[in-house]
Chains A and B, each alone.
Chain A
């Protein structure tokens, strides 16, 4: 158990819809990362938040947005969904206060299926 919790584990929805994925990081971790894993694209970095502020942006579509709340949990919002958005979305956390090891702790992922 990594200590990172993601909900929901599975989600099936239709094209054009909007979904929200939620992530609770390990206790004390200040950074949250979102990654998308698909068969054709591999593991792609989407976005990082550190202590509530956006720190880095990767290959995140404009239809996607994220935020980190004061309690450090994060949400990834996916809108106007397309078939190609079907993927496994991982949240990871790192950096307890005073610790910067470069190691990420991953949740088990949220599997999104767009029909």
Chain B
């Protein structure tokens, strides 16, 4: 069965610091992997997605993620955090031909001045 595990329900960084949000997946077939962001009182918005093309994926707002098959990971990074990045981030997995997404439990990113 497919699943994703997000390590850390909360991550705190200072403005300007590196952001690293961890996601590991479990899938018996090549996965599609996604990062979504949820700002307060809003729905989820796609940040980026991996669909078996380039392993380093660039998304919106300066975020990127690297697919590492050997580590079954898809960690999300941003070189320099901004206050506006404070939100909840969800990693999700699906596989080819099937649109249902399985979400991780989410990581709340806190950014301090």
Interface residues of A (CB under 8 A from B): 2, 4, 31, 33, 35, 42-43, 45, 48, 56, 58, 90, 92, 94-95, 100-109
Contact = CB atoms under 8 A, between A and B. Distances in A.
A65 to B, nearest CB: 18
B78 interface: no
A2 B43 contact: yes
Contact of B43 (A58, A90, A101): A90
Interface of B: 32, 34, 36, 41-46, 49, 51, 90, 94, 97-106
14 contacts: A4-B43, A33-B100, A42-B106, A45-B100, A45-B102, A56-B98, A56-B100, A90-B43, A92-B44, A100-B99, A103-B49, A104-B44, A108-B43, A109-B43
B106 A2 contact: no
Contacts, number: 60
A94 B100 CA distance: 10
B100 A48 contact: yes
Contacts of A103: 34, 46, 49
A76 to B, nearest CB: 15
A28 to B, nearest CB: 15
Nearest to B99: A94
B44 A101 contact: no
Contacts of B49: 101-103
Nearest to A47: B100
B51 A108 contact: no
Contacts of B42: 108
A45 B99 CA distance: 12
Nearest to B96: A102
Interface centre among A43, A92, A101, A102 (most CB of B within 10 A): A102
Given A33-B100, A48-B99, A56-B100, A2 B105 contact: no
Given A42-B105, A56-B100, A95-B99, A102 B43 contact: no
Nearest to B95: A102
Nearest to B103: A43
Given A107-B43, A108-B42, A102 B102 contact: no
A113 to B, nearest CB: 15
